Amino acid sequence: MGDQDTSIKTTKAVRDRLRTLADERGTTMNDLLETLVRRELTEEEKEQRAQQALEEIRQTTGVIVSDEARTRARAFLQRLGQEHRAA
């Protein structure tokens, strides 16, 4: 264990599921949790990636994506995600 270990309170069901998933993957619960949380982006990280993508689009195509176009695209993707979850 690392020198800055801590505890997380959770239910027994969640703990048991984490243990099962870790065992199936041949890893520890700590390493599994680290893998899982690294997959998820914070809102700040999402915004940074969006800005990087917009800059790449600008450099590659010369197109500057407007805030309005970005808002419409975000709304479309949210609707698409909602439809996917509802299916």
22 and 56: one domain? no
What is the rounded distance in angstroms from the CA atom of residue 59 to the CA atom of residue 2? 43
Put residue 62 in one of left, alpha, beta given phi > 0 → left and psi -120 to 50 → alpha: left
Q: Is residue 4 a part of any domain in this protein?
A: no
Is the predicted pLDDT of residue 1 greater than 80, yes or no? Answer: no
* Domains contained in the chain, number: 2
Q: Give yes or no for a contact between 32 and 38, defined as CB atoms under 8 angstroms apart.
A: no
Residue 2 pLDDT greater than 70, yes or no: no
Determine the structural domain holding residue 25 and report its residue range: 9-40
pLDDT recorded at residue 86: 87
Same domain, 35 and 67: no
**Does 53 share its domain with 30?**
no
The per-residue pLDDT for range 24-71, each reduced to its tens digit, is 999 999 999 999 999 999 999 999 999 999 999 999 999 999 999 999
